């Protein structure tokens, strides 16, 4: 017996490839926005901000294509997981590209203000770590490597740690009078953007795991919630720590 539904499967693989291209573009844009921030490149910032519209267009088209596949092809099994993962990936990528834009916008706001080498060094480190996480997520998606995708979560801890170090350094720099409050706040927000990029990379890793194995994230949190509910201790549903 030979393969049937060839056109449908071709459609699926095109969606996959386009998502890889969009994700790879974001991987490249992370060090670029960092350079713009550090070199105070206003023209570069403008270009990056405009380029985001293209990411929006592409993810929007991909979403429409996925909805069309769901409506017309009624995919099942791995095909279904692929479409569901792709739909969720679209949201992750679109938001990640926005974060890169946000860093460029922050670059415009702190234009003309200098900050010390220690902070610059930490920005480069955060940027590199975020890029690496995103690159791993993209590669694991491109190759369908669930084990590699699962490892991204652990790598993210390092970026979280860098962000905390950076905030501490920003506070110290401000106390010492090297940067004013406006710049300190902008830098703290920038650190948050890098950290969020890492979180989106982790989420993409989860989508890859779902696509390949059917595994769904947040099992542990859901299990804890059910446990607490059985024990009757869910008095503060919103107050619990999220995972």
Using CA of residue 129, residue 131, residue 132, residue 134, what is the dihedral sign? Answer: positive
- Tokens representing 41? 């490149």
Q: How far is the CB of 74 from other proteins (least distance, A)?
A: 6
Cα–Cα distance measured from residue 84 to residue 215, given in angstroms and rounded to the nearest whole number: 13
Closest by CA to 140, choosing from 44, 55, 211, is 211
Residue 80 binds other proteins (CB under 8 A): yes
Options 5, 57, 226, 229; binder of other proteins; rule CB under 8 A: 5
> Which CB atom, from 147 or from 157, has the smaller least distance to other proteins?
147
Place of tokens 């293209």: 54
CB of 72 to other proteins, least distance (A): 12
C-beta closer to other proteins: residue 1 or 176: 1
Kindly tell me which residue out of 50, 67, 72, 74 binds other proteins, with binding defined by CB under 8 A.
74
Tell which one of 18, 52, 79, 128 touches other proteins (CB under 8 A): 79
The CB density around residue 132, as the number of other CB atoms within 10 Å, is 18
Please check whether residue 149 is in contact with residue 206, taking contact to mean a CB–CB distance below 8 angstroms. yes
Q: Say whether residue 2 binds other proteins (CB under 8 A).
A: yes
Which of 214, 219, 221, 243 lies at the binding interface for other proteins (CB under 8 A)?
Answer: 214
> Rounded to whole angstroms, what are the CA distances from 81 to 10, 207, 215, 225?
16, 9, 10, 26
Number of other residues whose CB lies within 10 A of the CB of residue 236: 8
Q: Is 1 in the site for other proteins (CB under 8 A)?
A: yes
With contacts defined by CB under 8 A, name the span among 3-11, 15-23, 35-43, 113-121 that binds other proteins.
3-11
219 binds other proteins (CB under 8 A): no
Residues that bind other proteins (CB under 8 A): 1-5, 8-9, 74-81, 213-214
């Amino acid at each position: 017996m030979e393969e049937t539904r060839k056109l449908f499967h071709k459609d699926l693989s095109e969606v996959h490839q386009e998502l890889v291209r969009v994700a790879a573009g974001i991987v490249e844009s992370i060090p670029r926005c960092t350079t713009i921030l550090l070199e105070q490149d206003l023209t570069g910032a403008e270009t990056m901000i405009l380029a985001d519209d293209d990411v929006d267009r592409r993810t929007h088209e991909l979403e429409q294509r996925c909805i069309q596949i769901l409506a017309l092809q009624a995919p099942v099994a791995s095909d279904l997981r692929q479409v569901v993962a792709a739909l969720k990936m679209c949201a992750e990528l679109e938001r990640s590209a926005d974060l890169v834009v946000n860093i460029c916008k922050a670059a415009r706001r702190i234009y003309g203000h200098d900050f010390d080498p220690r902070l610059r060094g930490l920005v480069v480190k955060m940027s590199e770590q975020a890029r690496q996480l995103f690159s791993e997520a993209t590669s694991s998606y491109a190759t369908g490597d669930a084990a590699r995708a699962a490892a991204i979560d652990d790598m993210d801890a390092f970026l979280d740690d860098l962000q905390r170090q950076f905030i501490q350094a920003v506070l110290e720099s401000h106390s010492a009078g090297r940067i004013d409050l406006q710049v300190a706040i902008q830098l703290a927000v920038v650190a948050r953007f890098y950290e969020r990029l890492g979180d989106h990379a982790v989420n993409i890793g989860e989508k890859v795991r779902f696509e390949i194995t059917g595994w769904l994230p947040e099992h542990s949190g859901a299990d804890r919630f059910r446990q607490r509910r059985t024990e009757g201790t869910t008095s503060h549903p919103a107050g619990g720590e999220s995972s």
